[in-house]
Structure 1
Amino acid sequence: MIAFAEIVRSVYGSWRLACGKSSGMQWFDSSPGGVLRSFWGPALVLPGVLVLQTLDGAFEGDIFFALAVQLIAFVIGCTAYPLAVARICDEIGCGGNFPRYLVAYNWSAVIQISALVPVTLLAWLVPGPSLALLGLIVTVALLFYQAYIARVALGVTYLAAGLLVLLDLLIGTLVQTAAERIAG
């Protein structure tokens, strides 16, 4: 289990990073236990992810089968990218920083879903080009946020951080596309 105080500290650290403050890293527990507990970040955002998937039409068929597929895809998505990045970090010489990156990456999901859900709900309720543009702006800002986390936590170049974000997008797209095909 995780203490509420650790959740608050970790979300605050994620918020500081979102504000461009590298000092946000000091709020994370990068110990082996802290790394494991950081997966509470993605777990806490699961309801928001399911809301986004519902708005995207993921549950139009057999809801129980689609839900099972989406939950499996969510777990794969939460683990495939970190496994790939762990290996990459070892290869490029920043493997020692991987735990702190993974903790920041996992907790950043709370900030990201907090930005995406309201904008997506607004765009769904009031469709139009203005809100579509807002959605695009938020998405691009979140991609820069992810790159900033990689740069600060891993100590890599902007290019390397950007490539890690692209890898995350690629893996996420592959997993979600497979889930959509399986769920029908």
Structure 2
Amino acid sequence: MPGLSTPVTLETQVVAGLNAAFLLARGKEEGLRFALLSMEGATRSFWAGAICLVPFLIIRTMGGDALRSSGLELELIGYVLGWVVFPLASTALADASGRGSLWPLFIAAWNWTNLAQYAALLAASVLGRLLPGGLGGLLSLLAFAYALWLEWFVAKSALRISGARAAIFVLMDMAIGLSIASIVDRLG
């Protein structure tokens, strides 16, 4: 990808990734400029997974006995798989779409925007416990819809593909996530 600088520190990439997440979360494509400062940026963007671990555990704990039913170890394995399997699978889909060269940018943006998705889901979970059942459920549904929209927006923008093709990436991610969750539940 032309224009990428080579020597970028991890700290610089993380700060840039946070800026990318903030802008992309608001539907601003210029956030893509911050997602991948170097070719190492796609790899470094997986630090977002470490940052999102705390909100993930809080959300899972708030779901009742979710962590206890399958065990923390299985939950963590499922969490890691969620961060690895989709990026690996998406390389083939990006190549098939003729957008393989844009995959590093897409995956870096996808990783960083997970911060915004987890923030929305965590806020909905916390507020949902304070609101009456129907409102709490509606808030969770809206947060989930926002997370889907954000992933669609990132795929469409980073890979420069149509909305319908971006939806295929979102559907694939959902299928992978549901499969992993199902396996974790069955093993637990």
Q: For structure 1, which runs of at least 5 residues remain unmatched after alignment?
A: none
Bigger mean CA deviation after superposition, 132-141 or 158-167: 132-141
Question: Is the CA contact (8 Å cut-off) linking 1:150 and 1:161 kept in structure 2?
Answer: yes
In the alignment, which residue of structure 1 is the partner of 2:3? none
Which TM-score applies when normalising by structure 2?
A: 0.89
C-alpha RMSD over aligned residues: 1.6
Q: Which runs of 4+ in 1 moved over 6 A?
A: none
Picking from 23, 28, 53, the partner of 2:30 is 23
The alpha-carbon deviation at position 50 of structure 1 amounts to 0.9
Percent identity over the alignment?
A: 30
Structure 2 residue 140 is matched with structure 1 residue 135: yes
In the alignment, which residue of structure 1 is the partner of 2:51? 44
Aligned mates of 1:156, 1:100 — CA distance in 2: 13
In the alignment, which residue of structure 2 is the partner of 1:91? 96
Which TM-score applies when normalising by structure 1?
A: 0.91
Q: Deviations over 1:100-121 (max 9, x none)?
A: 0000000111111111112112
In the alignment, which residue of structure 1 is the partner of 2:4? none
The alpha-carbon deviation at position 127 of structure 1 amounts to 4.1
The total of aligned residue pairs comes to: 179
Question: Is the CA contact (8 Å cut-off) linking 1:30 and 1:100 kept in structure 2?
Answer: no
Structure 2 residue 87 is matched with structure 1 residue 79: no
Residue 67 to residue 60, structure 1, CA distance change in 2 (3 Å): closer
Aligned mates of 2:35, 2:146 — CA distance in 1: 22
Question: Is the CA contact (8 Å cut-off) linking 1:45 and 1:109 kept in structure 2?
Answer: yes
Aligned mates of 1:84, 1:161 — CA distance in 2: 14
Aligned mates of 2:129, 2:185 — CA distance in 1: 20
